[in-house]
Every structure is written in C-alpha cells, then in structure tokens.
A and B are shown apart, each in its own frame.
Chain A
Amino acid sequence: MNATANVLNPINEPGDLPGDFAIWVFIFSELLVFGIFFLAYAFTRANHVELFDLSQLTLDRTAGVVNTLALLTSSYFVVRAVQAIRLGHAKRCSHWLWAAQMMGAVFLVIKVGEFADKFAAGISLSTNAFYMFYLSLTAFHFLHVILGMVILAAVALKARRGGYSAGNHHGVETGASYWHMVDLVWLILFPLIYIIH
C-alpha cells in the first residue's frame, strides 16, 4: 500500500532534481540535441561568413528580442507559480501558469508572423544554408513551446481543481522544469541567429 502510494505521489529527497526524474532525462536529451544543432550552425557559418551575415540582416531582430523578453517573463511567471504552490496557494499557482501561457502565446504569434514574412518573400529551407538553419532551428523550438504550453495548461487546470498542495506539487515542478528548458534553449538560440555576426 505504501509502495503504491509512493509511486503515485513521489516525494523528492533533499538534493533531488525538482519534479519527475523522467522529465530530466528528456530535458538533458533535448539540450544535447539542441547543442548539436547550435554547433552545426556555428561551424557551418565559419565557412560561409558573408552569406550568414547578409542573410541575418533580413531577420526582424526586434521581433526576436521581444520574443526573448516574452519567454523570460513567462519563465518568471512559472517560478512564481511554483512558489505559490509550495505555500499551498493552488489558485494563485494556476493564475501564474495562465499568465505564463499568455506570454507563450505572444511568442507563438510573433514567430508565426516572422515565418509568414519569410515564406511570403519566397524563402524556404532550400534558399541557402543560413535559412535552412534559421527555419529548422526556430521551427523545432516553436514545437517545443507548443508542447510546453500544453503541459502548463494541464498543470494549471489540475492546480485550479485543487490537485496540488504544499505537500504534493510534483507535477507543477515537472512542468516548470520543462518550460525553463524551452526558455534556456531560446536564450542561446536568439543571440546565435539574430545577434552575433
């Protein structure tokens, strides 16, 4: 009985990673994959500096920085949600999570606008090496934002229904950890694609 209860409501020991360990296996795998993509971008650029720098100038840098600030703010809201549930404030936790998703939605809308502009200009994956990386990297990250928002929505709904408490908030920490990974990856991607030349 106790064993079943422990499996259904795992309790982290001091020093354990926050949330479910399985999400951390996923997070470390994702960081590895994104890291390889980033290195492929940078070392390909080393052989085509002029092409990459000229192509980079066609990007909307302001949209990029607004999106970065939106993701940072959403991560901040998620931290506040975790703080709220640790103090037993389930509804407040849910509100912070919805606020985080609003910022995630801002990110998606701006990114769709950027994609639409590029496609309208006839730019595709095969236009050149820079756009191949730009479109594939940002689209791959875009899908992670959508998945993160689905996870946060599920956690927010459960929090709203009283499914988490000060003593049982494993799921909130699990969702939060994933969302911070999405933010962390963008923090590296943004300067790489939009800023450094």
Chain B
Amino acid sequence: MRNSITTRIPQPSTITATWLFLMGVTFATYLLAEKGLGGLTISGLVLGSVLLKGHLIVDHFMDLRRTKMAWRILMAGYLALLLGLLFLAYWQAAH
C-alpha cells in the first residue's frame, strides 16, 4: 500500500528542478524587457515561453499528468489557443 502511494508522488527533486526552471525563464523574459528588447520576434519568444511554463504548471504543479488524456488536451488546447490568439493580436499590431 505504501509503495502504491509513493510511486504516484513526483520526486521532490523533479518538482524543485521544475520550479527553478520556471523562475529562470521568468527572470530571463524580465531581462529581455529591461534591455529594451521588443517587437514581434521577442513577443513570439515570450509568448512561447509562457506556453512552455503553462504546460509545466499544468503537468507538474497541478499534477494533470496522471489524469485522463481528455483533461490534459483541454488544458493544452486552452493554452495553445489563447497564446496563439494573443500572438495574432501582436502580429496584427505590427502590420
């Protein structure tokens, strides 16, 4: 019984690595803005990083990795659609 519980618990080291990665990517996007970098390419890069971070939050923090595929597809679809439409808005602004 104990084994069945512990095997479905993510290792703290995996969660810690995910958290540090999220912190690092967030700080990197902040530095981009601090250096005055902008425009469509940077916007796409930042929105892409948000998509990646969103997936990590959903999979590792919300723990949807172990749920039915339909829930994961719903969350992944939400993130992809929203961030895709946001990029479209920035593309529209640049043209």
Contacts and interface: CB of A to CB of B under 8 A. Distances in A.
A180 B61 contact: yes
B46 A196 contact: yes
Contacts of B50: 187-188, 191
Given A61-B33, A188-B82, A39 B22 contact: no
Contacts of A35: 78, 82
Contacts of B19: 72-73, 75-76, 79
Interface residues of A, number: 50
A194 B33 contact: yes
Nearest to A195: B33
B50 to A, nearest CB: 6
B61 A65 contact: no
B3 interface: no
Given A195-B32, A197-B33, 7 more contacts: A17-B71, A43-B89, A45-B89, A83-B9, A86-B5, A184-B62, A188-B50
